[in-house]
């Protein structure tokens, strides 16, 4: 019975994170429209980063409160869920057509990001043992900035295909009062959600006899990936398949480069070497995703391939909990 209240507060925290991220994105998007940013730039920056805000806030609060073990597990679990479950479910709703831009830029960037944290966490660069420290965090942030620079550099090329890459609905300019209100509510929601999740996830990890990394891989990662899940499902229902995969790829890249980069500046992030198994699964998930793109007709992830990806996520969760 003693774990019921922390569990309820954890769920409440997740709800606050999701609502807060949604409000903040709405307010920031309105500001972007007022600043006369194109819908493409708004989608690439504000909306893409908005779906990664829950991971960012949870990691920051966990690091501040001395529970950095959640950080890496949260990102590995979230990225695996994004590829296997979210893409899988989206493809089962409507087959996903992958653009040439994503194949040339975003999918390779996802591989590079995963490889980077694997090498850093396993002491390849001999900074510290099984830890991502602030120096490596700066390297991740620089790589993230490089990815964003490359994205903007290729902006003219992407614009030619913008009708296929992004939602046809133009972002709306909200009244100033509503814009400010959504920004304020978003910040408050993220703060409260981050506080509740970080505190109660740590308590439940101890009471359930699980490591912080395992809680991050499973419970926290599943909840912080809900914005990506909702966004991709809605896009699939609208038959806008590129939004579904663009949301997943962009979130995965930002999760590693930006979220882990910022987190490691606060406190060194310890890495349980047992999670190398989960990192291998994440590599395999990226490889399977790339394979599905080039099998069958066209550059598509079919409904059957979506089912395979989804079953792969079920196996990943069972494996992580068993370990």
pLDDT in tens, 87-101: 999 899 988 887 777
Given a contact cutoff of 8 angstroms between Cβ atoms, the answer to whether 264 and 245 are in contact is no
Buried b vs exposed e over 198-225: b needs ≥16 C-beta within 10 Å? bbbbbbbbeeeebbbbbbbbbbbbbbbb
pLDDT in tens, 203-234: 777 777 777 777 777 777 877 787 777 777 77
Q: Is the pLDDT of residue 11 over 70?
A: yes
pLDDT single digits (tens) 136-150 = 999 999 999 998 888
**What are the residues whose beta carbons fall under 8 Å from the beta carbon of 265, sequence distance 6 or more?**
134, 137, 138
Phi, psi of 289 (to 5 degrees): -60, -45
Query: Rounded to an integer, what distance in angstroms lies between the CA atom of residue 77 and that of residue 299?
Result: 26
Q: Is the pLDDT of residue 256 over 90?
A: yes
Residue that has been written with the tokens 């959504």 in this structure:
182
H or E, element range at 132: strand 131-132
- For residue 275, the model assigns a pLDDT of 85
Summarize the confidence of residues 22-37 as an average pLDDT. 74
Residue 94 zone, left/alpha/beta (φ > 0; ψ -120 to 50; rest): beta
User: DSSP letter string over 211-223?
Assistant: -HHHHIIIIIHHH
CATH superfamily, region 4-322: NCX, central ion-binding region (1.20.1420.30)
Average pLDDT over residues 152-179: 58
pLDDT at 291: 86
Whether pTM > 0.95 for this model: the answer is no
CB 13 within 8 A of CB 194: yes
Which residues, in sequence order, are bridge partners of residue 189?
A: none
Residue 155: the pLDDT is 53
């Amino acid at each position: 019975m003693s774990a019921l209240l922390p569990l309820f507060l954890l769920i409440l925290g997740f709800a606050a994170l999701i609502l807060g991220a949604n409000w903040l994105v709405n307010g920031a998007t309105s500001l972007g429209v007022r600043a006369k940013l194109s819908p493409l730039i708004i989608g690439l920056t504000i909306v893409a980063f908005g779906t990664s805000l829950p991971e960012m806030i949870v990691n920051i609060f966990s690091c501040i409160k001395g529970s950095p073990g959640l950080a890496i597990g949260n990102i590995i679990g979230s990225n695996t869920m994004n590829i296997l479950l979210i893409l899988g479910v989206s493809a089962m709703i409507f087959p996903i057509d992958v653009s040439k831009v994503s194949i040339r830029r975003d999918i390779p960037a996802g591989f590079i990001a995963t490889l980077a944290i694997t090498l850093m966490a396993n002491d390849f660069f001999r900074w510290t043992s099984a830890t991502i420290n602030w120096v490596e965090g700066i390297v991740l942030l620089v790589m993230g900035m490089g990815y964003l620079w490359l994205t903007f550099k290729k902006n003219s090329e992407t614009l030619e295909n913008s009708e296929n890459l992004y939602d046809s609905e133009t972002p709306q300019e909200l009244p100033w009062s509503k814009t400010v209100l959504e920004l304020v509510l978003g910040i408050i929601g993220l703060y409260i959600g981050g506080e509740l999740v970080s505190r109660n996830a740590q308590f439940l990890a101890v009471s359930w006899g699980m490591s912080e990394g395992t809680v991050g891989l499973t419970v926290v990662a599943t909840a912080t990936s809900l914005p990506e899940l909702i966004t991709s499902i809605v896009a699939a229902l609208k038959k806008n398949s590129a939004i579904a995969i663009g949301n997943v790829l962009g979130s995965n890249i930002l999760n590693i480069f930006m979220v882990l980069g910022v987190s490691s500046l606060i406190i060194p992030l310890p890495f349980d070497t047992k999670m190398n198994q989960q990192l291998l699964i994440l590599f395999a998930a990226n490889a399977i995703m790339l394979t599905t793109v080039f099998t069958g007709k066209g550059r598509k992830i079919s409904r059957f391939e979506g089912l395979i990806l989804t079953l792969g996520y079920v196996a990943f969760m069972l494996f992580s909990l068993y370990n």
